Amino acid sequence: MKHAIKGFDQMSLIDWDGMVATTIYLSGCNFRCPYCHNAGLVLSPDQFESIPVDEILEYVTEHSDFLDGAVVTGGEPCIRSSVLDLLSELKEAGLSTKLDTNGSFPAVLDRVIDEELVDYVAMDVKAPLDFESYRKSAGIADRKTLNRVQDSIDLLMEGRVDYEFRMTVVPVLHKAADLKLVGERLRGAARFVLQNYVPREPLDPSFRDEAPYDMERLQEFRDMLATCFGECILRRE
């Protein structure tokens, strides 16, 4: 199962700002974020039927007149080096490509950028960049993983590819002080996106009862962080 494609949205207007995109979901992830809403792809991917890549390539070729690009997401796409082949195949089909990643595989990310297989990278930042915060927010078990996340941040901030950092803000995990720490670590980044938590079938069932921040509070966070980044925006989810 080369690519482990478990989901395919033929057309999306929300997965890549300003683009009409097709979205491809790969299974498997090395993180265990308690608020993750793609828990099935992480914990039990075998419940989903695998989708042949040829089926997707046939669709995007037939609909190239209105599709701008393809988003490869997960799960964590970079957990398999075959993501390079998938991105290459999408490029050959004439699509721009966006990669969603948690940043824990900087070597794969570096190759994707170096080989010009991706036009845009969205990297999730889960918490302030210390081990205890990341352990709580992402379920990581060792500091080496956090070090790799740090390497991916530095890699993207070299500016070799268009990118954004994004953070899903969960009240029980993230306060104003945490966001300030994230802002300082990422200061100078081109784009930072605050995403509101949506309690929709989270990986940890107890998070179903966690109420999200209201948009007024998120706007205050955005205003607090605005000077850290070239662009700082809110996204509802």
Q: Flag whether pLDDT at 146 surpasses 80.
A: yes
Tens of pLDDT, residue by residue over 80-121, are: 889 999 999 999 999 999 999 999 999 999 999 999 999 999
HSE value, Cβ hemisphere, 13 Å, CA-based, for 227: 2
The pLDDT value recorded for residue 1 is 44
Q: Calculate mean pLDDT across residues 17-34.
A: 94
Q: Which CATH superfamily is domain 5-235 in?
A: Aldolase class I (3.20.20.70)
169-193 average pLDDT score: 97
In this prediction, residue 2 carries a pLDDT of 65
pLDDT at 221: 97
Average pLDDT over residues 184-210: 93
How much of the chain, in percent, has pLDDT values that exceed 90? 83
Alpha carbons 49 and 163: distance in angstroms, whole number: 31
Would the pLDDT of 236 be above 60? yes
Distances (CA, A) of 91 to 68, 71, 112, 115, 140: 11, 12, 12, 11, 32
Mean pLDDT score across all residues of the chain? 94
d(CA 83, CA 184): 31
How far lies 5's CA from each of 23, 74, 118, 134, 152, in Å? 11, 9, 18, 27, 24
User: What percent of the chain is predicted at pLDDT more than 70?
Assistant: 98
CA atoms within 13 A on the CB side of 161: 27
> Considering only 35-49, 114-128, 153-167, 198-212, which range has the smallest mean pLDDT?
35-49
pLDDT beyond 60 at 153: yes
Where residue 116 falls (left for φ over 0; alpha for ψ -120 to 50; beta otherwise) is: left
Rg of the chain taking only CA atoms, in angstroms: 17
Measured CA distances, 3 to 24, 74, 75, 119, 197 (Å):
10, 11, 12, 20, 29
Query: Which pLDDT does position 237 carry in this prediction?
Result: 59
- CA dihedral for 124, 126, 131, 136, sign (positive or negative): negative
Res 190 pLDDT > 70: yes
> Could you tell me the pLDDT band of residue 48, with boundaries at 50, 70 and 90?
confident
Domain ranges of the chain: 5-235
